[in-house]
Structure 1
Amino acid sequence: MLLSLLLFSGFAGITVFIGGVLAHVFNHHVKESPIKYDIIYTLMSFGAGIILSALALVLVPKGLEELSLFPLIISFLSGAICFYALDSYLVKKGGQTATLMAMLMDFVPESIALGAVFAIEPSTATLLAVFIGLQNLPEAFNSYRDLVISGFSTKKTLVIFFFLSFLGIIGALTGHFVLSQYPNLTAILMVFSSGGILYLLIQDIIPNSQLKNKRATSLGAIVGFLVGMIGEKLI
């Protein structure tokens, strides 16, 4: 049982590193061209759609299911306010980390949920692990680009992504052994993350995923959200 949890959560996490490696290969081995930028911005839009699907189909529903109105409001607003303050600080420092923060804010709570669900519904947990892994690929791809633009070296960025990939295992073990007995606490974490993710989507990620005079790239968000819908339907 524990080995299976480690394998599934490890798969969900390793796609963070894989997404970074793919972004590195794409940036350095694909020639500069309009098509290259169409692909980049379509993937950014696709990632925004997947993040939005995680918020709408996984994180918020869990909060609505477990929390009463007042804790729900406080958790959601707290997440938005905290990440407004953090984003403001990072903008002053000149960084572009919104996509990375949003990725972590759905990756970590979902990994915790994976661990909590695993003991009760292994088949559901398996599908959730696949869903999380598929989410992380485009999000990590876009996050790599943001960090490199912010001034991080290729090596440093990939090292960061390598260690971040283990957050899936840490989150799943925490959910399985610690938070599975406290569904309200897990729900608060998810709703807090939802508030922060929604702020980041509206303020940074969606505006930056639009390519001037190109409307078709925005369809990536529709496909990304559809992937989330399919994953939720299968789960």
Structure 2
Amino acid sequence: MVSMLETNGLLQIVLLTLMAGLAMPLGAAIASVERIHPRWLETEVRHSVIAFGGGALLAAVALVLVPEGTSNLPLPAIVACFAAGGITFMGLDMWLSANDTPASQLVAMLSDFVPEAMALGATFSISSEGGVLLAGIIALQNLPEGFNSYRELARATHYRSLKIVGGFALMALLGPAAGAVGYFLLSDAPQVVSGIMLFAAGGILYIIFQDIAPQAKLKKHWAPALGALAGFLLGVVGKVAVSG
């Protein structure tokens, strides 16, 4: 039987991960109405946001996924999980390309969000304050990633804005589901959580250098590179805040 304490903890995890996940459709909604003039400024802002999302993803890999993932596994398992993530995501990228379905930003966003939500659930009983802070950091990462993913899908498909934003809102439900799995099933299996994190880290790192970083490049403009720096700095600030 689930105790009252466990019920309260689960409710907090559901609310926190849902809040973090709803940053994805919020970012998409902003992208759907965002119009900046003149055109050169709109282009620079768009590339800067792409770079910011890439920097935030890189921070998630370097400061959260890899450190947490390597803390509970032996070296052979670390290599296997990380390499498997990169190879799997390469295969997925090739499949998407063969079917003319660009979705690298979306895949990267979900690859970051789901394992972090799972880790939040698994560790919530140890530090609820850290869980609240981590949820806020995930939300800040999801906002530019939702913006970039919307732009990518809107450019590559004929889906209406409302359909894309609504789809992102449904994806936000993956957060509570992953958090609940982490809370009930993985809190006593840190090796499994670590393996999932390393798998996601390998995949995200592949996507950053294969798709996101090339899209952020803009000739004779330097703001996008600062956007990547700002995104990574966000991760550093969040990591320091969570670590106390």
The answer on 1:76 being equivalent to 2:82 is yes
Displacement, 1:9? 1.3
Displacement, 1:159? 2.1
Q: Is the 8 A contact 1:96 1:149 kept in 2?
A: no
- Higher mean C-alpha deviation, range 84-93 or range 208-217: 208-217
Q: 1:70 to 1:152 in 2, by over 3 A?
A: farther
Number of equivalent positions: 233
Q: 1:15 aligns to what?
A: 23
**Please, which of 202, 211, 227 is the counterpart of residue 209 of structure 2?**
202
Q: 1:229 to 1:43 in 2, by over 3 A?
A: same
Residue-by-residue CA offset, 1:203-224 (whole Å, 9 max, x unaligned)? 1110111112212221100010
**Please, which of 105, 109, 114 is the counterpart of residue 103 of structure 1?**
109
The answer on 1:58 being equivalent to 2:40 is no
- The alignment yields a C-alpha RMSD, in angstroms, of 1.1
Q: 1:46 aligns to what?
A: 52
Residue-by-residue CA offset, 1:115-147 (whole Å, 9 max, x unaligned)? 111111101111000010110000010000011
Distance in 2, matches of 1:136 and 1:175, equals 20
Alignment of 1:57-206 (within 5 A): 57-153=63-159, 154-206=161-213
TM-score when normalising by structure 2:
0.93
Displacement, 1:8? 1.1
Distance in 2, matches of 1:13 and 1:218, equals 26
2:187 maps to a residue whose letter is: S
Q: Which runs of 4+ in 1 moved over 6 A?
A: none
Unpaired stretches in structure 1, ≥5 consecutive residues: none
Displacement, 1:152? 4.0
Q: 1:19 to 1:200 in 2, by over 3 A?
A: same
Q: Is the 8 A contact 1:210 1:217 kept in 2?
A: yes
Q: Determine helix, strand or coil for the equivalent of 2:157.
A: coil
TM-score when normalising by structure 1:
0.96
1:82 maps to a residue whose letter is: T
Displacement, 1:3? 2.3
Displacement, 1:156? 2.5
**Please, which of 212, 232, 235 is the counterpart of residue 225 of structure 1?**
232
Displacement, 1:31? 4.5
1:39 maps to a residue whose letter is: V
Percent of aligned pairs sharing the same letter: 39
Residue-by-residue CA offset, 1:92-116 (whole Å, 9 max, x unaligned)? 2222211111111110000001111
Distance in 2, matches of 1:35 and 1:143, equals 20
1:164 maps to a residue whose letter is: M
**Please, which of 34, 37, 51 is the counterpart of residue 40 of structure 2?**
34
